[in-house]
Amino acid sequence: MSHLPDAGRPEAQSAERAAMAAVDDALRSFPLRAAPPGLAPAILAELRSPGHAPAARPVFRLSWMDFALSGFMALMLAGCATLKAHPKISAALDCGKQGIVDSIPVIAKDVLRLLGGSSPNWSSLETLEASYGLEVVVCAVQALTGSSSMTAMSTNPMVIKNAGAYLHDRGAL
């Protein structure tokens, strides 16, 4: 076999093309022999033999992870159902949800006013948090920033900026 020049030079590329052309020509010009007549039946018989049958069929196996995930999900669903069915917890969740739903319309105007200045009115926002709860005020700010119908936000861009600062400060962003 002859030595080919380095691959980066132009003469190397032409030598490589010439070598590939010679291989291509040899593959096209050499006569092909026909396959032996018993080859295809022998291959099919081997594939149908009992030794190959288990490999051809998929095997259903359960691993420890299948059992662990199934058990975890069953326990989680049972725990959620138990908590939801517990009268005190269910009442507390409903009360908290209703408190937030009832309080947001009441404090929405105050929140818009407190966020409309050059910076958030932190002391007044803290007073609102003390009166209604941090979650209610944060929820009101999130509802106001997510609402497209609030005209005060469209006329005062400071509300959006200050709402972002407030939510970031309270860890809700």
Alpha carbons 111 and 158: distance in angstroms, whole number:
12
- Residue carrying structure tokens 């972002």: 164
The pLDDT of residue 53 is 59
The pLDDT of residue 66 is 92
Domain assignment of residue 98, yes or no: yes
Domain assignment of residue 152, yes or no: yes
The pLDDT of residue 84 is 74
Q: Tell me the pTM.
A: 0.42
Print pLDDT tens along the chain (173 aa): 455 555 556 677 888 899 899 888 888 887 777 878 888 888 888 877 767 656 556 678 889 999 999 999 999 999 888 877 777 767 666 666 766 777 778 888 888 888 888 888 888 888 888 888 887 888 888 877 775 445 545 557 788 888 888 888 888 76
Look up the domain containing 109 and give its range.
Answer: 87-169
The number of folded domains in the chain is: 1
Domain assignment of residue 50, yes or no: no
Exposure pattern of 97-125 as b/e (b: 16+ CB <10 Å)?
Answer: eeebeebbeebbebbbebbbeeebbeeeb
Alpha carbons 160 and 121: distance in angstroms, whole number:
14
Domain assignment of residue 42, yes or no: no
Domain assignment of residue 165, yes or no: yes
| Number of Cβ atoms within 10 Å of the Cβ of 40 | 10
Name residues whose C-beta falls within 8 Å of residue 96's C-beta, 6 or more positions apart in sequence. 135
* 151, 141 contact by CB (below 8 A): no
The pLDDT of residue 75 is 93
Domain assignment of residue 136, yes or no: yes
